[in-house]
Structure 1
């Protein structure tokens, strides 16, 4: 029972469509705007791994070490890399937050930056 991904030609967003059988004809509609102008995407193949294998791979991934936690853009890139490595898609709320961070804004609720220098003492 595959799940196919499509990109809407009207709003540009991705939708995932569950199909009961391989080869079954579907008429996908965008889950965001309802448009039927959709293009099927080639999706990555999911490989099942144990939690231990996933976290071992993360521990060995040096590309995740170059994050600057005081820079919103660096943090956003790191979160996107982590999401890809874990195979976990980002929800719309997280996507919006990352777009703000990529524009140089501090994450929502962070008034004094990302450095953690707001300790009381």
Structure 2
């Protein structure tokens, strides 16, 4: 039995319905406004990639297009994307490790006062 998602054009609400068979049930109406003129929405889906497809995606040179290697934040975003592609092979703490390395890099640039340095934080202005 599939679960379908529906959208109501009257109130812009969305809801899900467990359906027997593959056709919309009779008398289906929006639970928010009661409108019976609803539309089936396209649901999100996931695809499972083979190990080979994952490695090909990582090795694709276009994945590095537009990457500014002098920007630590851009490198961190790329590394997190890489970690998602690697899945559990990267380890559970991959994002945490990338964040820690980024923080150390930004702290080092702040001490040097070089490009990409984090702005100095005033002591008494209540930075959050």
Normalised by the shorter chain, which TM-score bucket? 0.3 to 0.5
> Which one has the largest radius of gyration?
2
Q: Which TM-score applies when normalising by structure 2?
A: 0.34
Task: Indicate the structure with greater helix content.
Answer: 2
Q: Which protein has greater RCO, CA pairs closer than 8 Å, 6+ apart?
A: 1
